[in-house]
Amino acid sequence: MDPMILLHKWWQELHISSVLNLLLFSLLLLLSLLYLLKLTRGTGKLNLPPSPPKLPIFGNLHQLGRLLHRSLHAVSEKYGPIVLLHLGNTPLLVVSSSEIAREITNSHDTIFLCRPQIRAANILFHGCSDIAFCPYGEYWRQVKKICVMEILSQKRVKEFQFVREEEAAEMVEKIRRSSLNGTAIDVSEMFATISNNIICRSSLGLKYEGEEGSSMSFGQLSKKVMQLLGAFCFEDLFPHLGWMDVLTGFSAKLRTTSKAVNAVLDQIIDEHIKRGDSDQSDKKDFVDILLSLQRSGMLDINLTKENIKALLLDMFVGGTDTTSTTMEWAMAELVKNPSIMKKAQEEVRRVVGEKSKVDEADIDQMDYLKCIVKETLRLHAPVMVTRGSSAIAKLVGYDIPPKTIILINAWAIQRDPKLWDRADEFLPERFVNNPIDFKGHHDQFIPFGMGRRGCPGTSFAITEAEYVLANLLYWFDWELPDGANREDLDMSEVYRVVICKKVPLLLIPLLHSP
């Protein structure tokens, strides 16, 4: 949501006395003057990137709309591929060029290896001791190595095949029952559920649905975490006004959610400790692996219980919404483009044949399905790439101040008509016999980031998305409810850290008869 709308809404709903209103206004005015003095003293000798006019205190917040990726793209269209904005006291560098993105992640890799430190991440991830928000240093290198080599390696992804197959079979059975009634199903909710179940079982060893009498599942808790990470926080943008987070209720929500998440993870970790090592090495979940590494004494860092909880929460935040959103966009595009849907179904059904289930090994022969997933990630980049500068740096001739948030607009880069033919169209064929992949080697296609801070869970996410979509295309045909026109399918977006489909996708499944 537009931070200015949040401020306006909060100001309207906050019931305080007129005297306090006057006091707050006076304080804001004083801070405004101090902020202007700081700006004139601190940046006079730097050759800064182009920047649109800004307001005192608020900077360029008023220029950010509800769809952040589109707002930043509009600013870049006017001011160029590298633009400096100010969000309160925080400088934000917006990059919409693949070449500059590559320079940031390669030539200036060490300076831009940090991630912005926000209050919600600091509290929820135990001092940012996870991978996503952890400052660059020896601890980050070690936990990244643990995740790449021990948790999210190709070998581990393969070992969790049984989880994906069991969850997909359960999903297919539920859809089959719905198809008998001819009723529409909420595909958006279905993808959210299966993504949460797969990551839950892979990470924790079970599908945590909450204590008896509680409706709060761990999936719902992780959604609350995502909401808080994307919520407006005064302390992040106006450090001297951090106390206002108490008045808005943000601080209370942060404490409550952190306490609930910790209670669940403490319980699950303690249960794993009591159970001891599993005899089945190929059935170990992420908790088992992390506890085994902790006990081994072979790590170069002290992996505490809080560190383990931060890493586990990282898996949920990074592995649920992004994957489910990608699958939802893929199905929406397939429904909107029936010829592409038909071609994909013909491939999947030809490869699987008359077998009783889709084998994960079959996916290797589904080249067109892989192109569909790639094109979905290109047209509907789930997130923007964030970095932070640890020192002053020179970038394409401009001075970049330290502690600047770097935001690489992957959505804009992947729709750049200079890089992509018919950039705004859904054309999976563009990836046929095309070496461009999403592993960070091609700067025009970066849905999972690039460089050393690239997402370590790429293989896990892609394997899940391809397998789930293959099942849906093999077993069912799909129609819009109430005879709706495919051309009228609502494809509007909403920005909630992840760029999601605004209107849930409702479809009628029809059981396919060979």
Looking at residues 188-194, what average pLDDT do you find? 95
Asked whether 93 and 406 are in contact (CB, 8 A), the reply is yes
* Residue that the structure tokens 């959604």 belong to: 223
Query: What does each C-alpha distance from 310 to 125, 253, 259 come to in angstroms?
Result: 5, 18, 13
Asked whether 256 and 225 are in contact (CB, 8 A), the reply is no
Residue 32 has pLDDT above 80, yes or no: no
Asked whether 314 and 131 are in contact (CB, 8 A), the reply is yes
- Determine the pLDDT at residue 287: 94
- Determine the pLDDT at residue 277: 67
Q: Are strands 185-186 and 385-388 parallel, antiparallel or unpaired?
A: unpaired
- pLDDT (tens digit, 9 = 90+) per residue, 100-127? 999 998 867 688 988 888 999 999 999 9
AA letter at 343: K
* Residue that the structure tokens 């409702």 belong to: 506
C-alpha 137 chain-centroid distance:
23
Asked whether 18 and 26 are in contact (CB, 8 A), the reply is no
Looking at residues 313-332, what average pLDDT do you find? 93
* β-sheet bridge partners, residue 92: 85, 405
Asked whether 103 and 451 are in contact (CB, 8 A), the reply is no
Residue 314 has pLDDT above 70, yes or no: yes
* Residue that the structure tokens 């952040």 belong to: 68
Residue 380 has pLDDT above 90, yes or no: yes
Helix axes 250-275, 305-319, angle to 10 degrees: 110
Domain ranges in the chain are 3-511
Distance of alpha carbon 369 from alpha carbon 372, whole angstroms: 5
Single out the residue of 505, 510, 506, 504 nearest to residue 474, CA to CA: 510
Single out the residue of 269, 281, 277, 331 nearest to residue 306, CA to CA: 269
Asked whether 221 and 257 are in contact (CB, 8 A), the reply is yes
Residue 237 has pLDDT above 50, yes or no: yes
- The band of 496, judged by pLDDT with boundaries at 50, 70 and 90, is confident
Single out the residue of 492, 405, 494 nearest to residue 2, CA to CA: 494
**429 in helix, strand or coil?**
helix
Distance of alpha carbon 147 from alpha carbon 311, whole angstroms: 9
Could you name the CATH architecture of 3-511? Orthogonal Bundle (1.10)
Distance of alpha carbon 286 from alpha carbon 139, whole angstroms: 19
- Determine the pLDDT at residue 122: 96
- Determine the pLDDT at residue 280: 59
Single out the residue of 98, 166, 140 nearest to residue 456, CA to CA: 140
- Determine the pLDDT at residue 5: 38
Distance of alpha carbon 294 from alpha carbon 458, whole angstroms: 25
For residue 233, what is the DSSP state?
A: -
- Determine the pLDDT at residue 275: 85
Q: Are strands 185-186 and 506-511 parallel, antiparallel or unpaired?
A: antiparallel
Query: Mean pLDDT across the chain, nearest whole number?
Result: 88
**424 in helix, strand or coil?**
coil
Distance of alpha carbon 311 from alpha carbon 309, whole angstroms: 5
Distance of alpha carbon 247 from alpha carbon 120, whole angstroms: 16
**178 in helix, strand or coil?**
helix
AA letter at 18: S
Distance of alpha carbon 96 from alpha carbon 408, whole angstroms: 6
Q: Residue 354 corresponds to which tokens in the numbers above?
A: 């008359």
- The band of 44, judged by pLDDT with boundaries at 50, 70 and 90, is low
- pLDDT (tens digit, 9 = 90+) per residue, 479-491? 999 878 888 899 9
Question: How big is the CA angle at 461 (ends 458 and 463), to the nearest 5 degrees?
Answer: 105
Residue 27 has pLDDT above 60, yes or no: no
Distance of alpha carbon 291 from alpha carbon 302, whole angstroms: 12
For residue 194, what is the DSSP state?
A: H
The answer for residues whose C-beta is within 8 angstroms of residue 195's C-beta and 6 or more apart is 319, 320, 321, 323, 324, 327, 464
- pLDDT (tens digit, 9 = 90+) per residue, 139-184? 999 999 999 888 999 999 999 999 999 999 999 999 999 999 889 9
- The whole-model pTM stands at 0.89
Q: Residue 406 corresponds to which tokens in the numbers above?
A: 């770097």
SS (HEC) of 12-79: HHCCCCHHHHHHHHHHHHHHHHHHHHHHHHHCCCCCCCCCCCCECCCECHHHCCCCHHHHHHHHHHHH
